[in-house]
Amino acid sequence: MTETAGAPEERRLDELLDHAPAGFASFMDDGTIVAANATFARMLGYAPGELDGRRIESVMGMGTRIFYQTHFFPLLRLHGGAEEIFLLLRHQDGQDVGVLANAARRERDGAWASDCVFMQVRERRKFEDELLRARRTAEQAQAAAEARSEELRHANELLEQQAMELELQHQQLQEQAFEMETQAEEMQAINNELLERSEELVRQRAAAEEANQAKSSFLAVMSHELRTPLNAIAGYVQLLEMGIHGPVTEPQLLALDRIGRSQQHLLRLINDVLNLARIESGRVEYMVENVPIPDLLASVAPMVEPQMAAKQLAFSVDVDAVAVRADRDKVQQIIINLLSNSIKFTPPGGRIAVTSSRRAEQPGVVFVRVTDTGIGIAHGKQAAMFEPFVQVDMSRTRRSEGTGLGLSISRDLARGMGGDLRVRSEEGVGSTFTLTLPAAD
């Protein structure tokens, strides 16, 4: 804790808190850390007092930041506290630190602050029951939504039938003038019933939308929880490959490589589901900054060059010294996804190129293109490929596993940053995906 000039009892309390066996931090609603004990600083590789004034999100990885923004902090604001929430904090050396967080939010001196205790953990088994309960809750919500949807369909049919009856009654009123008063009373009664049923339909529709939101929230939580054990699998595979636990034979190295590839594939699928859930719930946040395209491509190329070399693909980058106003991580995600698709659907010996340009008639827009000599896409199927869970021409791509979410997520991210993602392709010749983004000033 930062030294204070208060009474000896207060200084003594700060010293005791600094030696507590659990981390402690107090931060304002804007995330600014106003106090942190020495245990919490050491837990994350910082010197005592070094965290004061920083934002609490600065010690979180990307996944935990999203979870903090969409779940943890809203829970504090709604209930004033949270107990036994599992978080992955980021050590100064880049390693993840698993903690259980207990927090309480209170008003102090006219401002709201949250006091949080962090207990470091290394076991995840205790959270499996919570995940199972969340899954059961989501399944029950889904069943309720389906039942309400069926009720809505029956109610709509009943409304149509009642509308036909009203039309018949109207004709009878015209033909039988002497029964007009009686028929008018009956119509009033029917209109009242229709109004009540319409109000009920509105309530049922709102309940169905709430259930769908619960499904998206469950997908986000489930995806977040599954990523941690998958990252642990990757870490243990790397330790085994390095021989930390003893010598490894060539067949064992091959098996470990396959495990690692499977882990990466499953992690990509979970990331796709998590991204889709965030986009559907409208909770994606963009950290817009000036992003130089050459620097971005320089960081992306090493990630895809091994796969290109394995398929003997020629790869070229010819981009201008331009910058865009966008979220760097999300632009990188889009480019990697486009390159991965090109690698997947380009036969061995083909070519992949990344270029950029600006047009005189659109000076405020930067065009980034990924072109390949792959199998191409039929013209009638190009629009559908941007829909979620769609893979064009499954008979030709079944050997390439995936969720069919990559292009849908990429286009939504591009549009969220004020740009767009389009495709021009010819079957058997290749494809060109064009990403447009606002140019930096």
- pLDDT tens, 268-318? 667 666 665 656 555 678 889 999 999 999 988 888 888 888 889 999 999
CA distances from 329 to 161, 275, 378 (A): 54, 13, 31
pLDDT average, residue stretch 107-124: 87
Q: HEC states along 331-399?
A: HHHHHHHHHHHHHHHCCCCCEEEEEEEEECCEEEEEEEEEEECCCCCCHHHCCHHHCCCCCCCHHHHCC
For the structural domain made of 288-438, what CATH number should be given? 3.30.565.10
Task: Check pLDDT > 60 for residue 4.
Answer: no
DSSP state, 435?
Answer: E
Higher pLDDT, 312 or 378: 312
CA distances from 25 to 30, 55, 68, 215 (A): 14, 11, 15, 33
- Burial of 157 by CB count in 10 Å (0-12 exposed, 13-18 middle, 19+ buried)? exposed
Looking at residue 398, what is its pLDDT? 43
d(CA 23, CA 120): 8
Task: Check pLDDT > 80 for residue 223.
Answer: no
Banded model confidence at residue 135, pLDDT cuts 50, 70, 90? low
d(CA 373, CA 425): 10
The structure tokens 């209930």 sit at 79
d(CA 323, CA 293): 5
Contact between 258 and 291 (Cβ < 8 Å): no
**Share above pLDDT 90 across residues of the chain, in percent, rounded to a whole number:** 36
d(CA 284, CA 327): 11
| Closest by CA position to 33, among listed 78, 9, 11, 1 | 1
| Closest by CA position to 119, among listed 54, 232, 24, 52 | 24
Pairing of β 420-426 and β 430-438: antiparallel
Higher pLDDT, 390 or 383: 383
Looking at residue 397, what is its pLDDT? 43
| Average pLDDT along the chain | 82
d(CA 332, CA 70): 23
Alpha helices in 176-292 (DSSP H): 180-241, 250-280
Amino acid found at 291: V
Task: Check pLDDT > 50 for residue 413.
Answer: yes
d(CA 204, CA 280): 21
d(CA 229, CA 35): 32
Looking at residue 277, what is its pLDDT? 60
Cα 310 off chain centre by: 30
Count of helix runs (H) and strand runs (E) in the chain: 11, 12
Q: Which two tokens stand for residue 379?
A: 């013209």
Cα 236 off chain centre by: 26
- Condensed to tens digits (0 to 9), the pLDDT of residues 57-102 reads 999 989 899 999 999 999 999 999 999 999 999 999 999 999 999 9
pLDDT average, residue stretch 112-121: 93
Looking at residue 376, what is its pLDDT? 85
Contact between 204 and 148 (Cβ < 8 Å): yes
d(CA 302, CA 290): 22
Task: Check pLDDT > 60 for residue 126.
Answer: no
- Condensed to tens digits (0 to 9), the pLDDT of residues 185-197 reads 888 888 888 888 8
Three-state DSSP state, 265:
helix
Looking at residue 16, what is its pLDDT? 83
What's the CATH fold of domain 8-122?
A: Beta-Lactamase (3.30.450)
Task: Check pLDDT > 70 for residue 37.
Answer: yes
pLDDT average, residue stretch 226-243: 75
Q: Which residues pair with 318 in a beta bridge?
A: 355
DSSP3 helix / strand / coil % (the chain, rounded to 5):
55, 20, 25
The structure tokens 């779940």 sit at 71
- HSE on the CB side for 12, CA within 13 Å? 3
Banded model confidence at residue 125, pLDDT cuts 50, 70, 90? very low
